[in-house]
Structure 1
Amino acid sequence: MIIHVVQPGETVDSISEHYNIPAYRLVLENGIINPDNLAIGQTIVIVQPEILYTVQAGDTLESIAVQYGITPMELLRNNPYISDREVLHIGETIVISYQTDRTKTIATSGYIFPHIEKSVLKKTLPFLSYLAIFNYRATSEGEIICNADDTELIQIAKDYGVAPMMFVSTITEEGIVSREVTYDILSDPSVRDLLIYNALDIMRTKGFYGINIYAETITYENINAFSEYLEKAAAIFHAEGYRVVITITPVINIDTPNMIFDKIDYSKLSQFADAIMFSSYEWARSYSYPSLIFPVNVLKRLLDYSLSIIPSEKLFLGITTLGYDWTLPYVPGATEATAITYDNAVQIAAKNGIPIQYDEAAQAAYFYYENIDGTLHIVWTKDARSFDARISLVEEFNLQGVSIWTVMRFDAQMWLIVNTQYYIEKVMGIDR
């Protein structure tokens, strides 16, 4: 795998000629939305195919997979653009395998909201081991509110060999974590017990594989209470064969250029959970200092600390796909950032003729631009180099896998990198 950084004067055709890969494949595999106007500094992932196949009359995904001794899931990972189609097109070329040296199998988890587009979901599921459905809110009384019907999503996940996980949080309808609800739950054993049995009832009824408990508000003060709650919950859930996962947002000082995190003793939780996912979810952080959320240098410090108290095989690395666009000058507590995808960032840079820069320490892309009214902006985002740097940490630190916030849109470059570095575990009976 090569990550090509677009240079001045380069086009899709010139890059295609240089690497001897058809231009249309570069566009397909990378999800390039600006093929006629590349941005300087934009990344393009180059992976040479090992075996190609031209579709014949009567071919199906299953028949081609049998012919080459692979699974339909592998074909869909190598050709995600065919995932939402009913039929293959006669004469089209599909990738049977890429030239890779992958040897390690990892687990992957992705978070969705119930309103995800089905076409995006079906493109993404071949790359996932677990699917966390962000749809359940705990109350101070121990009740669980379901926001939308997710029955179809659960079944689609299972059809693709992906384990659906019930994601429970104390996040309000406005998208804010309620510390009051968390306190009420942890301080009252009867509320904790009711919450546990309500969750168990939902998992039984809907056919979930397990539960993913969102624990953003873990502090030095409540870690013991949360550990007691988790110990009882895990004993009950495990007794019925359910997987128990904790998603933690580390407490980080984000109002300064040098991020620091609280060194909380998460080992108390790892005794009871099957996996711990460290992630930084940014909807509540749009007023933070302009920088990439969780740069790699900070992430490595967090992993070094975490692995001193948590077995590496229990840890998932959280990766966020969004970047942010800030207006300048930055005023702490007042300057609000706008969430932005990498594709959006590339379009802004290409439209304004601005080169995308790269910060090696943070492993993140950034650039400045002026709006039409003359307002200065700075954009921080993740490109293919950013994803590669983070995904490589899974092998470097021998982690269980990665969890992606969110998979509400299909990120072709990110999944191409994952697919060429690792085999993906399928826990629901469909192998790799």
Structure 2
Amino acid sequence: MFVYTVVKGDTLRNIAERFGTNTRELLRFNEMDSQDVLVPGLHLLVPGETYLAAPYQVRSGDTFSSVALKSGVSLRDFEYWTGLRESQGAKLAPGSTVYVPKRVTRKKTVETNGYLLPDGTTSDGNLLRDISTLTYVSIFSYQVRADGSLLAPKDQFALTGAQQAKIAPLMTVTNFDGTNFNTELAHTVMTNASLRRKVFNSILKMMKQKGFRGVNVDFEHMDPPDRPLYNQFIRELKAFVRPSGYSVSIAMGPKTSDSPQASWMGAFDYRTLGQEVDFLMIMTYEWGWVGGPPMAVAPIDQVKAVLRYATSVIPANKILMGMSLYGYDWKLPYVKDQSRAAGISNNSAQNLALREQVPIQWDAKAASPYYRYRNQEGEDHIVWFDDAMSVAAKLQLVYDFNLRGVSYWVLGNEFPQNWYLVKDSFEIKKM
């Protein structure tokens, strides 16, 4: 598929005509609320050859034609992709970064995972049946209790839907106590051999009973001194469940070096854990978060830094890169320790920009879109989210780092552009 950047004066009809399609198809690919309103900077998926996005740093002497030639596309397609029109006075500034189309010539086979917080209704199954591009669904979550038992979510409809959609279900086990990831709970479980055994028995029994294909451990906010205990916990869990044919995977926070005493991240021993598990999910998102200052949820420069370190100590074919299906809407001005952003699905963020009729900006360093608007109460807001272009840039990293695949947090946030791009850019492995 091709990413088209809307410029002033565009209509959905004339864009459709340029690419030999119709407005109905463009509305389907991009799930827009209306075909009557477009805004500059909007990135639309349109039918075409398979492309992802790669950064190009403009050099002195570069021209539109020369960069298009280096990218392997026509000048017309280069301008359509970037939204830069030489005839309208656009310039390529030396030192600036432009995301250019990169053709996918041979599709890589990958695995994809999506985390699901089931609500115990038929909507869980319907959601999974609508997404054909998942290898796994990780049911979030089975909460470990201090007595070694597990508090299970209402996942019967989700498991039925996964089976019908040929998506392998993973049982996500956490130290979440219903309010927070509990540091002391994780410590208690990991330090007591008999309690660990009870937890392992509970996990194995539940996987057999419900038809899970593996266990996915997501222990968070662990004390750094518990690092060797967590390594031991995962090692023993693998020895306990693997003989029965179950996979063992984990979710880990992102980091760019190994600092064993660092709060939260210090407990994750990338090298050792990478050796123990079958595969793992790295949570390469939440730089922009509900309580933090406005910024991209997953800035690509930060994501790359994490992947560079991770692939230096973990086999790349074990790594699923984390991707977010949501953005945040901050009221301005941001006040540290007081402001709280509102979560918003990426598709809703796109359509909010259309309703407010505000242009969408592009941060080249983060490879992320954002925009500002003023609501009916006169309050200023800024929204950071992901769109077709930012996803195309992140999915290219799967090729660049030769990763196992991608993992999404969290299903239920609408983002059709992502699923169309994934399906178009890869062969999805089914278990």
Query: For this structure pair, what is the TM-score category when the shorter chain's length is used for normalisation?
Result: 0.7 to 0.9
Task: Tell me the secondary structure at the aligned position of residue 234 of structure 1.
Answer: helix
3-state DSSP class of the match of 2:313? coil
Equivalent position SS for 1:289: coil
Tell me: CA distance 1:412–1:348, structure 2 relative to 1, closer, same or farther (3 Å).
closer
What residue in structure 1 maps to residue 170 of structure 2? 165
Secondary structure, counterpart of 1:192 in structure 2 = helix
Structure 1 unmatched runs, 5+: 51-98, 253-259, 428-432
1:313 partner amino acid = N
Q: Is the CA contact 1:121–1:408 (under 8 Å) kept in the aligned structure 2?
A: no
Which position in structure 1 is the counterpart of 2:47? 47
Counterpart in 1 of 2:323?
Answer: 319
State the secondary structure of the residue aligned to 2:221. Answer: coil
Shift of residue 375 of structure 1?
Answer: 1.9
Question: Residues 49 and 393 of structure 1: is their aligned pair in 2 closer, same or farther, counting only changes over 3 Å?
Answer: closer
- How many Å separate the matches in 2 of 1:315 and 1:205? 28
Q: Deviations over 1:88-115 (max 9, x none)?
A: xxxxxxxxxxx97442110011111222
In structure 2, the CA distance between the partners of 1:396 and 1:282, relative to structure 1 (3 Å rule), is closer
Question: Of 154, 158, 163, which aligns to 1:153?
Answer: 158
* Residue matched to 1:91: none
TM-score normalized with structure 2 length: 0.80
Paired with 1:35 and 1:12, the residues of 2 have a C-alpha distance of: 6
Corresponding residue number in structure 1 for 2:29: 29
**Secondary structure of the equivalent of 1:221?**
helix
Gapped runs of 5+ residues in structure 2?
51-102, 257-263
Q: Is the 8 A contact 2:4 2:43 kept in 1?
A: yes
Confirm or deny that 1:419 pairs with 2:401: no
List aligned pairs for 1:216-365, cutoff 5 A: 216-218=220-222, 220-250=224-254, 265-279=269-283, 285-365=289-369
Say which SS state the counterpart of residue 290 (structure 1) adopts. coil
Q: How does 1:104-253 map to 2 (within 5 A)?
A: 104-115=108-119, 116-124=123-131, 126-148=132-154, 150-174=155-179, 176-218=180-222, 220-250=224-254
Give how far 1:128 is off. 0.8
CA distance in 2, matches of 1:189, 1:295: 41
The 3-state SS of whatever aligns with 1:378 is: strand
- Distance in 2 between residues matched to 1:46 and 1:339, nearest whole Å: 27
Distance 2:344 2:148 in 1: 35
Q: Secondary structure at the match of 2:224?
A: coil
Counterpart-to-counterpart distance in 2, 1:313 and 1:353? 43
Identity, in percent, stands at: 30
1:3: which partner in 2?
A: 3
2:408 equivalent to 1:404: yes
1:169–1:136: structure 2 CA closer, same or farther, 3 Å change rule?
Answer: same
Cα deviation digits, residues 309-364 of structure 1 (max 9, x gap): 10111111000111001112222211101001223222332222210001111111
Structure 2 counterpart of 1:169, one-letter code = T
Per-residue deviation at 1:181?
1.4
Cα 1:384–1:315 change in 2 (3 A) is same
Count of aligned pairs: 369
* Structure 1: distance between partners of 2:49 and 2:270: 43
Q: What CA deviation, in whole Å up to 9, does each residue of 1:196-226 have, x standing for no partner? A: 1111110011111001111322553222110
Structural RMSD (CA) = 2.4
Shift in CA distance, 380/410, structure 1 to aligned 2, threshold 3 Å: closer
Instruction: Give the aligned residue type for 1:129.
Output: T
Alignment deviations for residues 165-203 of structure 1 (CA, whole Å, 9 cap, x no partner): 1111122323x2222212222222222221111111100
Contact 2:5 2:42 in 1 (8 A): yes
SS state of the match for residue 139, structure 2? Answer: strand
Displacement after TM superposition at 1:30 (Å)? 2.3
**Cα shift readout 1:137-192 (whole Å, capped 9, x = no counterpart):** 112222200121x2332233123221111111122323x22222122222222222
TM-score (norm 1): 0.80
8 Å contact kept, 1:323–1:339: yes
CA separation of 1:172/1:313 partners in 2, compared to 1, >3 Å: closer, same or farther? same
